[in-house]
Amino acid sequence: MRQWQSRKFLPSLIPCALLLILGSCGGGHETPRPEAARAALGGAPLFDDTDPHDWVGTAPWHYAVHGVDVSRYQGEIDWHRVRSADISFAYIKATEGGDVVDGMFETNWSRARAAGVPRGAYHYYYFCRSPEEQARWFAAHVPVDPSALPPVLDIEWTHQSKTCRFRPEPEEAREMIYRFLKALTLRYHKRPVIYSTVDFYADNELWKVTGFNFWLRSVAGHPSVTYPAQDWIFWQYTGTGVVPGIAGRSDLNAFVGSRAEFATWAAR
């Protein structure tokens, strides 16, 4: 399987004159509001951020492709409205550990596809069960669907868990990651994506994990700053997004490339 070649950043395709409204020409701070960028292009605001960061350098709105990640906490989702809001993809929580299934997974999985939203599933990992057991649990609940996006391993510290706060040594954590990803690759014939946070990434030296795309959470700086030298495919840039069709706040994510590049990556 051909591995997608991620890039650390993508130059804006919007002329600098149009970006004056964002205050980004020549670098410096940006007002990271999507409606401002869309107004510059003559479009209406489609999704927003209730608590945007004051970005320095490359802001999320320099990227053409944006998506959401959702779970039961978002409740009933109107996926047709989400699609109409120019949301280009969705990652849907399926499972966690070895005994929990997200209560909205099946509904979100079928409705997102019916609405034409490219979607993939993610698993929230716990270190108190083996990688193989968790991979089997995920596989038991997520169907093999060639049209789906590659599966995602969501791996971060579970410090708020009441039952599993185990923190393995970095080498052991990376070995578990490889075992889980290997199992999913064999099952779905797609190379999974690794989602992680700044602290977990640093604590476990995840830059040593190779051969897989990264989805990086970075809500206070561009990934090139918070994850130096790490290539990435998705950037989770806020947890306070507002998307038509989704009640309350949403995580928003940017894809590293163009719309055409996303279509190529999604079809691999």
Considering the candidates 48, 78, 133, 156, report the single residue annotated as catalytic: 156
For residue 18, pLDDT beyond 70:
no
92 occurs within a structural domain: yes
Is 54 an active-site residue? no
How sure is the predictor about 6, in pLDDT bands with cuts at 50, 70 and 90?
A: very low
Contact of 102 with 68, CB cutoff 8 Å: no
How sure is the predictor about 9, in pLDDT bands with cuts at 50, 70 and 90?
A: very low
Lowest mean pLDDT segment, chosen from 25-39, 147-161, 169-183: 25-39
17 occurs within a structural domain: no
DSSP track, 165-184: -----HHHHHHHHHHHHHHH
Residue 194: beta bridge partners? 153, 214
- Residue of 24 and 34 predicted with greater confidence: 34
Total number of domains in the chain: 1
Lowest mean pLDDT segment, chosen from 20-24, 118-122, 137-141, 239-243: 20-24
Contact of 94 with 267, CB cutoff 8 Å: no
Considering the candidates 49, 69, 96, 102, report the single residue annotated as catalytic: 69
pLDDT for the residue 160: 81
Residues counted in the chain: 268
CA-based nearest residue to 74, from 216, 252, 254, 245? 245
Lowest mean pLDDT segment, chosen from 46-60, 91-105, 187-201: 46-60
53 occurs within a structural domain: no
The CATH number that applies at residue 165 is: 3.20.20.80
What is the percentage of the chain residues whose pLDDT exceeds 90?
A: 78
CA-based nearest residue to 232, from 152, 160, 146, 178? 152
Is 156 an active-site residue? yes
246 occurs within a structural domain: yes
31 occurs within a structural domain: no
Domain that holds residue 124: 63-266
For residue 28, pLDDT beyond 70:
no
